[in-house]
Chains A and B, each alone.
Chain A
Amino acid sequence: MERIVLPGDVVWEREVFASGTWVKDGITYAKVPGMLRDEKFIPLEMAYRPKVGDNVVGIVVDERNAGYMVDLNLPYNGVIPTRKVRISLRLGGMVYGKIAFVDEVGNVDIGEVDKLPAGKLITVPASKVPRIIGKKSSMLNQIRDISGSSVFVGNNGYIWIGQKGNMQLVMKALDLIIRRAHTTGLTDQVAKYLDENR
């Protein structure tokens, strides 16, 4: 049993703290469009807010004394503090890292940084990223296996695709996932699509 819930609709008649909802007078309302499936609220669209521990893909845009500034598809650039992360980066290079710290106004520090070689960077809605990764990375591993490409997905909505393998196939599969993110049995749908178009 599933139904689409819109902002302002009652999700539960009791207090529940779930992503994409807000509580007033003991009643839980939706604040973004979402899907209520098996008593679970899944936000369908949601502007991204960085969280500690999120994996991110970014582009190095500036070099300062304190560290590197990284474009993370956020309102403001993130920082790789060179004091904590001993790494030397090139401007315009792409990196994969973990969010180490977020302050109260949303400034982001990145840790555990790895350099990414030349590849293609694409932007997807951050609310669709969980579907692109799938349960225990099932979806992502499937795409990697069949296309032979190396794919890194950031929770911020940036996706890096390596030059080896079938890059076109990866992008088409991602497009399919984004368009059908709200449907069930997506892994099978994508498996079928990849099989037909490999």
Chain B
Amino acid sequence: METPELIKDGKRLDGRALDGLRPIRIMAGVLKEAEGSAFVEWGGNKVICGIYGPRECIPKHDASPYKSLLKCRYTMSPFASLEEHGRSGPNRRSTEISKVIREAFDSVVMSGEFPKTQIDIYVDVLQAEGGTRIAAIAAAAVALANAGIPMKDMISGVAVGKIGGQLAVDLGKAEDNLGESDMPIAFTHRGKEIVFLQMDGKLTPEELSRNIDAAMEASDKVYALQAEALRKSYDSEGGQELEM
């Protein structure tokens, strides 16, 4: 297949600058029955997240008397995107993403306060356009805060990578599939610790550290939107209606 030109006159396929983010919209408290919830629209991605718990740990032999068990289930709707994600339910890809999201939050959630219980993070991707795991992390962080689950810090991330020989921030679907490298990464907001990092393709060590710096800057912008969403949920009436 012929690779299209990913960068033209310093601009990308959708007209963004190399360090530009797609438009992001975040809402907190969109589900009524969940303890906490969030909806994230990130470019063409639509992700909804619900938090349940702390609740009884099932199976019981998994329960720890010292801490709450964090569980995450990431799924992609059958209608989320074209190509290989044509069915719902657990598969190799969603199992992996569920695991890495859980591990990212394991490092900030203060699970010691709720022994013998579990906390469920459910993330459903309604529409996908590259970078869903990062959108899922952004949604889960807002939803956990909205649920009142104690956390040491908030988490925000962004996918960075290399397209058409240049480093770029927040890769879309075409850039992800056809570019040289894709590296989703997430930080804690205050401590700037890396809690999540994956990479496809190749980068030199120098490119990697430049990418991390760019990601740190971009994830601060994402955090600002997460914080705004949480603050907004306390505006006059509280709670937000989901509009799409």
Contacts and interface: CB of A to CB of B under 8 A. Distances in A.
A125 B239 CA distance: 13
Contacts, number: 98
A125 B32 CA distance: 11
Contacts of A22: 110, 150, 152
B148 interface: yes
A183 B238 CA distance: 10
A17 B90 CA distance: 43
Given A47-B35, A75-B116, A105-B65, A8 B148 contact: no
B238 A106 contact: no
A122 interface: no
Given A6-B230, A8-B154, A182-B238, A106 B147 contact: no
* B interface secondary structure, majority: loop
Interface in B110-151: 110, 113-117, 145-151
Given A45-B145, A75-B55, A105-B116, A8 B151 contact: yes
A47 B231 contact: no
A89 B35 CA distance: 31
A7 B145 contact: yes
B157 interface: no
Contacts of A7: 145, 150-154
Q: Which of under 10, 10 to 19, 20 to 34, or 35 or more describes the interface residues of B?
A: 35 or more
Interface of B: 35-36, 53-57, 65, 108, 110, 113-117, 145-154, 188-191, 227, 230-231, 234, 236-239
Given A7-B152, A180-B236, 18 more contacts: A4-B230, A4-B231, A4-B234, A22-B150, A29-B152, A33-B146, A45-B146, A45-B147, A49-B114, A75-B54, A104-B65, A106-B114, A125-B148, A179-B237, A180-B238, A181-B238, A182-B234, A182-B238
12 contacts: A8-B153, A8-B190, A31-B110, A43-B148, A44-B148, A75-B56, A75-B117, A106-B115, A127-B148, A179-B239, A180-B236, A181-B238
